[in-house]
Amino acid sequence: MSDLQQIFPEDFGYLWKPKESLLNEYCHLLSGYSGKVRLTGPSDPGVLWREHVLDSCYALPFLPASGTVLDLGTGGGLPGIVWAVCRPDLEIHLIDSIKKKCVALQQIISDLSLKNVKVICDRSEDLAQHSREGYDLAAARAVTATGVLLEYLTPLVKPQGQALAFKGPGYLSEIEGLTNRWSDLGFSSPVIWNYFLGSCEHFILLWNKNSSCPSTFPRRAGMAEKKPWWR
């Protein structure tokens, strides 16, 4: 594993610094929903900036050159809105199953005048039924355990596309026993990068989609957690 700063020795802040003002506005909009709709944990704009916006920015170098990206379980729009601000050339879809969150996200997108974002109020299993393998990259941040997450993502990612997950150090226990099983979902083994936010170590896991999703996925809602695919 290599630190992102070693992989990208040039300051990849060039991707987000020109958009810093709009990202700060996004932080203040998010903080304004505190107590109304639980879009994210902290409500302080400074904390949102340090712990959520900058964290989302670490994955900017991994986004595709073009195409459509899905943010699964987006919550308050992290990382999807950050990516939409920094990469206006990409189409970003935000999916969440909670209607009041989707309504709030739509208002935030309107307030930020973003034209490259679509909010989808649905479960991922249902989205995969009518948008099967339609995304160049599908990603999730703080959604669920890695094995379960990959089941949600595989029917959404195009062959030759990618899946991305933000993880903490606990990912190691999550992928124990899965080392030789990724191909069951059509994926390569993940490439893993580590980075630091302050003293806290974080990880980005990136899978290439080498083959089509097996026809058995998606399963009906709840089955991914109830009966893990790898057991």
Write the pLDDT tens digit of every residue in 209-222: 999 999 999 999 98
* Residue 13 covered by a domain: yes
What pLDDT, on the 0 to 100 scale, is given for residue 9?
A: 52
The pairing of strands 200-208 and 157-167 is antiparallel
pLDDT at 142 over 90: no
Average pLDDT, the chain: 91
What pLDDT, on the 0 to 100 scale, is given for residue 137?
A: 98
The model's pTM is 0.93
CATH value at residue 162: 3.40.50.150
What pLDDT, on the 0 to 100 scale, is given for residue 40?
A: 74
Please report which confidence band the pLDDT of residue 35 belongs to, taking 50, 70 and 90 as the band edges: low
* Residue 106 covered by a domain: yes
Residue type, 124: S
Write the pLDDT tens digit of every residue in 23-33: 999 999 998 87
Query: Which residues form the domain of 217?
Result: 4-226
The more confidently predicted of residues 41 and 141 is 141
Sheet with 191-197, side-by-side order of all strands: 117-121, 91-96, 68-72, 135-141, 157-167, 200-208, 191-197
Distances in Å between the Cα of 114 and the Cα atoms of 105, 120, 152, 167, 219 are 11, 15, 27, 27, 33
* Residue 163 covered by a domain: yes
What pLDDT, on the 0 to 100 scale, is given for residue 1?
A: 36
Write the pLDDT tens digit of every residue in 180-201: 899 999 999 999 999 998 899 9
* Residue 74 covered by a domain: yes
- For the chain, what is the domain count? 1
What pLDDT, on the 0 to 100 scale, is given for residue 4?
A: 52
Average pLDDT of the residues in 59-76: 96
Average pLDDT of the residues in 120-149: 95
* Residue 81 covered by a domain: yes
Average pLDDT of the residues in 47-76: 94
* Residue 15 covered by a domain: yes
* Residue 9 covered by a domain: yes
* Residue 231 covered by a domain: no
Question: 183 by DSSP, 3-state: which?
Answer: helix
pLDDT at 134 over 60: yes
| % of the chain at pLDDT higher than 90 | 76
Buried b (16+ CB within 10 A) or exposed e, 95-106: bbbeeebbebbe
